[in-house]
Amino acid sequence: MRLLLVFAAASCLLEAEAFDTSRYDNLAVYWGQNSYGAAHGTDSANFQKRLSFYCNDNAVDVFPIAFLNVFFGAGGLPSINLANICNPTDNGTFAGTNLANCASMASDITACQAKGKIVTLSLGGASASVGFQNDNQAITFAQTIWNIFLGGSSSTRPFGTAVLDGIDLDIEGGTSSSYVTFVNSVRSLASGASKKYYITAAPQCIFPDGALGDVLNGAQDHWARVVSPNKNVKIYIGAPASSSAAGSGYQVVDDMKSISLAMRKSFPSFGGVMLWDASQAYANSRYDLAIKNSLVAAGGTGFTFPTCSAPA
């Protein structure tokens, strides 16, 4: 099973940044769920490490932190669960809420950002049932996300002074309404900001996506280049980083390289590869690094449409 990760800038900024959405060799890797540890409970040496551990080379460009798995919890605030690193059971929570105080992660986030990587927050997840009852609730939630994770201000910021670079929608359960309103509200809040913010989504393999059909409407490349309001949007091929990372869909590294290369040569909307997840990739002989090196070798810039082979 291969997913697609769609990247879109939520606001514009003129100065150059290390992360460049126009490139074809970007790699996004989810972090936060200790997927390897969940599948290999006795091999603690390969359990998920702190986020900064995975920022020590140039392999990964984007880290979606997974997951914010409750939209409206105690005290009206969301909840995040980052497995063995920070969660509401093992870590302190803000008074009257189930929102874990993960301020110790602030230094990890800023360290990765200082190396030119972007760090976003992924909403949803496979076990989450999330969504909105109406547009007003979606607007309120967008303001909450902006205040506690992005460029706003709040006394309940789980990552302390760290400011994330955007949000990712991994909606696999719950309601499907009002996501367009939510996304547009986040974009509105980010407009004119002093930094660039990103909105990404990981639709399910069946297209159009059940929850995000209104947001991601149309066939992938055609949608990216013709239908999407943002014509600079990029599509990433998504895949498990190990055979134990998902029930199906794993491709051995050479096959994944071939798939990525074929997409790189075929579609100008191709932006790179997305993997689930960091712990699995590292335990699987640095699957992430092998894919990154392959993407770089194929060329990060420039695109030539393939010669048409259809009969005249």
Question: Got the DSSP string for the chain?
Answer: --EEEEEEESS---S--SS-TT-S-EEEE-BSS-HHHHH-TT-GGGS---GGGGGSSSS-SEEEEEEEEESS-GGG--EE-BTTTB-TTTS-B-TTS--B--GGGHHHHHHHHHTT-EEEEEEEETT--B--SSHHHHHHHHHHHHHHHSSS--S--TTTT----EEEEEE-SB--TTHHHHHHHHHHHHTT-SS--EEEE---SSSS-TTTTTTS-S-HHHIIIIISS-TT-EEEEEEESSTTSSSS----HHHHHHHHHHHHHH-TTEEEEEEE-HHHHHHTTSHHHHHHHHHHHH-SS---PPPP-S--
To the query of whether residue 172 is one of the catalytic residues in this protein, the response is yes
Among 135, 172, 214, 221, the one annotated catalytic: 172
Catalytic center residues = 172
